[in-house]
Structures are given as structure tokens and as C-alpha cells.
Chains A and B, each alone.
Chain A
């Protein structure tokens, strides 16, 4: 099975851009003041998940 991809919970994200600045795949964009992950780019490295200071990023389907 393919690895799960990072997923930003919109209700939690406060738009600091931290996840974007560390994503090695450039897979995250800020759209209308919310971080959004592009599944196709994400390689599931988990850096953004660990970085988010309020835990707004988890894994898709979880």
C-alpha cells in the first residue's frame, strides 16, 4: 500500500508558514490563509507533521 500523505486540518491551521518553509518537496502551499498539501508532491517524510506548533498536520485518513 502507498504511504499516507500529510494532511492539514483546515480548522486548526493558523497560517504561520512553518511547514512550507521546511518541506523538502515544496509540496505545501498557502491558499486563502490555510496550508494545503499537494498529495502528488508529498513523499511522506513527516517533517511538516513534526514542525507544526499546534499539531494541525496529520496523515490522510487518520
Chain B
């Protein structure tokens, strides 16, 4: 078996990479250890409507609800509403992530990509130190798959990068550890995605409530692993739900645990190898959202593979085009939000309450980091010192 590219993982990063590579003429194989693409769902299922711009999804079956905006609740309950009017295209959908992933995979297959399920990547194939493919375990068989490019789209616990010598181990400081229930029979008929902040609510993270229809919602928590002790995320989420009668009466349809990298992105290219999506830590360090960046990076990765196949050059210099493209598109934003994450982690609950209080009636002309910072600094000149590094990055 010889392919131009073999892709590990059929999540959004893997399927979109496969789609664009296949469309550009490459012979592509996706290997996935699961028995069904997209299952189990390990996700809050919120995404910006900007996903429509990428034209990688057909129909509307993957959409559960269209949201009108987001609300952020500070520790004392002060509410900031980012309505559609101000949040613009950043308001989003709550999706069915299993259908979403399957639609993305279908798109890849339609362009000619092959998919193998029940197939776990176990190591890279190498010849004289050069990566020449992948060894996989398919049911009880061990197979060698030759390929010019190996793509690690294998998510948060990525091994592929490690096999190529890229340091991917996360510091506990850079991981949100998560639990989520999908609750039904609740009284939460709201057109907003809600975020709850506070040291006692979710240290270093937040609780979210993303409605998935009239009486169903994803209710989840992410806390920073460095502030966690065994089982703490679940305990805090259970406490949050128990304190709210409108949620407490609900019954769970699904429970999941999750791990979300909130790190600075890492090296994503080496000779004959690319990392895409969570594997490359392409996740917004403030929100933990990684779906959009996985899709955008997947597009660049696929296109880069297409051009590499045309040139028949697969060295890091050729593949670096991919890293340049995604860094240009959203690398600055990820870095800026990493700095913002560090500033927020330093803030006391009281500071967050003060910030929320000054933003609650603010009419955002434009919803950008710079406009939020400006609003904050006008009301709280003392914050200027803390926020200066962000201001510089937001302007850059």
C-alpha cells in the first residue's frame, strides 16, 4: 500500500486535510482507531457561523440550534451579553458533533480520500531516519502503510508528533480537564450560549451551558489541570447543577470527560510530516474552542500537501508553507489569547466582577479584543499596566 499522504485521525482536522489534499489530486488515506467517525462525542458542540465560509459541510443536519449570542456571568453573577448585533458572525451554532464529523468525513470521501476504521497508528515507518509511512494495528493485523507525508491529526493525546521528535507533552498549566453532561428535561429555553466564571465555579476555566433545543443542553466544566485534584472537575460541575433547580431536575442523556489543550501552538512541520488541529495545539487558549482552527488549518494542510505532491518534494522546507499559512491566518490571535489567559488567571474574582460591571452596559461598536481592552481601560485606568502587553498584541 502506497499513498501520497496518510492521515491519523478522522476528527475535523484529519477529514478537512484529507478533503483538500484529495481535491488537489493526492492519493490519501485516513486511519481512525474508532469504530465510528465522530463517536463518542467529546465536545461542547459550539461553533461560530463563520464555519459556513469554508464550504466543507452540506445541508443542515449537523446543526442543533442557531444561537443569538453569548452571555458571560462573572463570579457574582454580573452578566455581559454579546448579542448577535455586536458579536456579528461570531455568534454561532450548537451542533451535533457526531453528524458534523461524519459530514466532514463524507466530504473527504467524495473527493476521493479512503478511510480505514478500527485502525490504530502505532508508530512511524522510517528508512535511514527518514519517515516513509506508518505502522498500524487494524483489528488484529499489523500493517505497514507507505506514504510520502504522514499527518498527525490525532487530537489532544497526539503521539504522532512525539514519534517524529516534536515535544507535545502538555504542562498541566496548559490543559483544561473537562466533564460534560447532556441534560434533557431542563428549563433552559435560551437563545444564548452561557459561560460562568469564578475561582469557586471553575478554577482556571469556566462552566458552560450550550442549549441544543428546547429542553436539552450541554452543561460542562473545564478547569485548569494545574488547579485540579483527582475528580475535582466532576465535583464542581455536580455542585453547579445541584444549585440550579432548572438544571437539577434534568436527566442525563450523555456524560463525557474531555481534555482541551490551552497551550501556545507548537512546531507543526518536519520532514515528511505535519501536525494539524489539537495535535498542533491550534486551540483558542481563552475559550478552548478548536473546531474552527482545525478546519482552517486542515484546509491549508491539504492544499500544501497537494502542492508538495505536484513538486514531489516533501522536505520540511516545502511543507513549511502550511505553517506559514495557518500562522498568518490565526497564529497571532492564539498567541494574544494565550497572553490574555495568563492575565486572567492572575485576576481575583473581585477584579473579574469589576470588569464585568464596567462592560455590562457597554455597546460594542465592534467586538474585538482591542475594543474590549479600550472599554476596560477607560473605566479602570489601574488596569492599564496589566493590560498593556495585550494592547500591544491586539494592535499588532
Given the interface contacts A21-B261, A24-B169, does A16 sit within 8 Å of B230 by beta carbon?
no
Residue pair A17, B157 in contact (C-beta under 8 Å): yes
Q: Mark B25-53, 1 if CB is under 8 A from A, else 0.
A: 00000000100000010100000000000
Q: Mark A43-62, 1 if CB is under 8 A from B, else 0.
A: 00001011111110110000
B175 at the interface (CB under 8 A from A): yes
Residue pair B175, A55 in contact (C-beta under 8 Å): no
Within the complex, what minimum Cβ distance (angstroms) separates B232 from chain A?
7
Residues B154-203 near A (CB distance < 8 A):
155-158, 162, 168-172, 175, 177-179
Residues B188-238 near A (CB distance < 8 A):
223, 225, 228-234
Provide the residues of chain A in CB contact with B223, threshold 8 Å: 53
* A51 to B255 alpha-carbon distance, docked (Å): 18
B383 at the interface (CB under 8 A from A): no
Residue pair A22, B170 in contact (C-beta under 8 Å): yes
Within the complex, what minimum Cβ distance (angstroms) separates A18 from chain B?
3
| Contact pick for A18, options B168, B175, B232, CB 8 Å | B175
Q: Which chain A residue lies CB-closest to B231? A: A55
Provide the residues of chain A in CB contact with B229, threshold 8 Å: 50
Residue pair A53, B179 in contact (C-beta under 8 Å): yes
Residue pair A55, B230 in contact (C-beta under 8 Å): yes
Within the complex, what minimum Cβ distance (angstroms) separates A45 from chain B?
10
Residue pair A16, B257 in contact (C-beta under 8 Å): yes
Provide the residues of chain A in CB contact with B177, threshold 8 Å: 16, 18, 51-53
Within the complex, what minimum Cβ distance (angstroms) separates B252 from chain A?
13
Interface size on B, residues (CB 8 A): 32
Provide the residues of chain B in CB contact with A17, threshold 8 Å: 155-157, 259
Provide the residues of chain B in CB contact with A47, threshold 8 Å: 172, 225
Most buried by B among A15, A54, A58: A54
Within the complex, what minimum Cβ distance (angstroms) separates B136 from chain A?
14
Given the interface contacts A53-B177, A54-B179, A54-B234, does A23 sit within 8 Å of B169 by beta carbon?
yes
Residue pair B175, A51 in contact (C-beta under 8 Å): yes
| Contact pick for A54, options B42, B257, B261, CB 8 Å | B257
| Contact pick for B231, options A15, A26, A54, CB 8 Å | A54
Residue pair A21, B169 in contact (C-beta under 8 Å): yes
Residue pair A16, B259 in contact (C-beta under 8 Å): yes
| Contact pick for A22, options B172, B230, B255, CB 8 Å | B172
Residue pair B170, A52 in contact (C-beta under 8 Å): no
Residue pair B175, A53 in contact (C-beta under 8 Å): no
* A48 to B234 alpha-carbon distance, docked (Å): 15
Residue pair A57, B230 in contact (C-beta under 8 Å): yes
Most buried by B among A14, A30, A53, A54: A53
| Contact pick for B234, options A23, A26, A50, A55, CB 8 Å | A55
B258 at the interface (CB under 8 A from A): yes
Q: Which chain A residue lies CB-closest to B255? A: A14
Provide the residues of chain A in CB contact with B179, threshold 8 Å: 53-54
Given the interface contacts A21-B169, A21-B175, A26-B169, does A51 sit within 8 Å of B257 by beta carbon?
no
Given the interface contacts A21-B170, A21-B175, does A51 sit within 8 Å of B225 by beta carbon?
yes
Q: Mark B300-320, 1 if CB is under 8 A from A, else 0.
A: 000000000000000000000
Give A residues with C-beta under 8 Å from B. Answer: 14-18, 20-24, 26, 30, 47, 49-55, 57-58
Known contacts A17-B259, A18-B178; 9 additional CB pairs below 8 A are A16-B257, A18-B225, A47-B225, A50-B229, A51-B172, A53-B178, A53-B234, A54-B231, A54-B257
**Nearest 7 A/B pairs, CB to CB:** A55-B231, A18-B259, A17-B157, A53-B233, A16-B257, A20-B157, A14-B257
A-B contact pairs, 19 of them (CB 8 A): A14-B255, A16-B42, A16-B178, A17-B259, A21-B156, A21-B157, A22-B171, A30-B157, A47-B172, A50-B229, A52-B230, A53-B178, A53-B179, A53-B223, A53-B233, A53-B257, A55-B231, A55-B234, A58-B230
